[in-house]
Amino acid sequence: MLSSWQDVLLILATVLSSLLVMALLNLFWPREKRRVHNDLIGWQLSVLGTTYAVIIGFMLYTVWTDFGTASVNAEAEANAIVNIHRLAGGLPEEQRTEMRALSLAYANAVVERGWPAMAKGEINMESNQISRKMWHTLMSIQSTSPSVMTAEDHALYELSSLTEHRQIRQLQTTSKLPAILWCVLLVGGVLTIFSTCMFGLENTLIHGIQVFSFSLLISLVLVAIADIDRPFQGVVHVSDAAFQRAQINMQDQ
């Protein structure tokens, strides 16, 4: 993933390249000769622009929705581990101590090693191993006390929910827009900007402002899609704040 400065440089490079293309067109195909084709170019830009606006708007909406889903899922996973820690209070002494220690270890593993690994597009398996120990601890309970059985049942439900949310989070870490969709976005952007450059306008300043505006907007949206597409990487990413709050809640109990 690109850093903030790399994003800025990419946007500037796109805008400058677009203005350079306009200047080269004016040099090798004078605007006076292109002016007679403005009606055709305008029709082409209208169709291209409308189609591309729908595509790029849909893509931005999709990645932002996925980003929101990833954030909600992380919150749910953190809540599940806190609930397991609390429900452990109703278990026998041996399992209670072990489940509370494992719950805190799970949150620590996610914050200290899981999130940094996800920022690199990798998956840290330590939380999976701790989860398996939790399952083993809960299934080892032999008590027939109604209160213990109730606490165990609820803890198993929360542990099942925790496992589901963790698997979703790990899937979201590696998922991204398919290459074919990026091809559509990039080719559509190039064609739209090039169509803008083809206009034959008397006023070069106004034409330059139009090309600048189109290229700036398109490059900004594409950079935003690229950053949001990976919810745990890049400049814009899902925070581990939910698990940090979980750590504090469990340490206070």
What is residue 169's predicted lDDT score, i.e. its pLDDT?
A: 94
Read off the tokens for 240.
Answer: 């581990």
Nearest to 19 by CA among 219, 225, 182: 219
Distances 172 to 30, 74, 118, 121, 145 between C-alpha atoms, Å? 50, 11, 10, 10, 40
Q: How far apart are CA 189 and CA 191, in angstroms?
A: 6
- As a whole number of angstroms, the longest Cα–Cα distance in the chain is 92
CA torsion sign, 159 to 160 to 164 to 165?
negative
pTM (two decimals): 0.85
| Domain-wise residue ranges, the chain | 4-252
What is the DSSP secondary structure assignment for residue 253, as one 8-state letter?
-
Q: How far apart are CA 152 and CA 62, in angstroms?
A: 39
* Amino acid symbol at 11: I
What is residue 2's predicted lDDT score, i.e. its pLDDT?
A: 65
Q: Please name the residue ranges forming H helices in the chain.
A: 4-28, 31-34, 38-87, 93-109, 115-119, 126-139, 146-174, 179-197, 204-229, 241-252
User: Strand, coil or helix: what is 38?
Assistant: helix
Per-residue pLDDT of the chain (253 residues; tens, 9 = 90+): 667 788 889 899 999 999 999 888 888 887 777 777 777 777 788 888 899 999 999 999 999 999 999 999 999 999 999 999 999 888 888 889 999 999 999 999 999 999 999 988 889 999 999 999 999 999 988 877 888 889 989 999 999 999 999 999 999 988 888 999 999 999 999 999 988 888 777 778 888 888 899 899 999 999 999 989 989 988 888 999 999 999 998 887 6
Read off the tokens for 7.
Answer: 């994003």
Residue 5 burial (CB < 10 Å; 0-12/13-18/19+)?
Answer: exposed
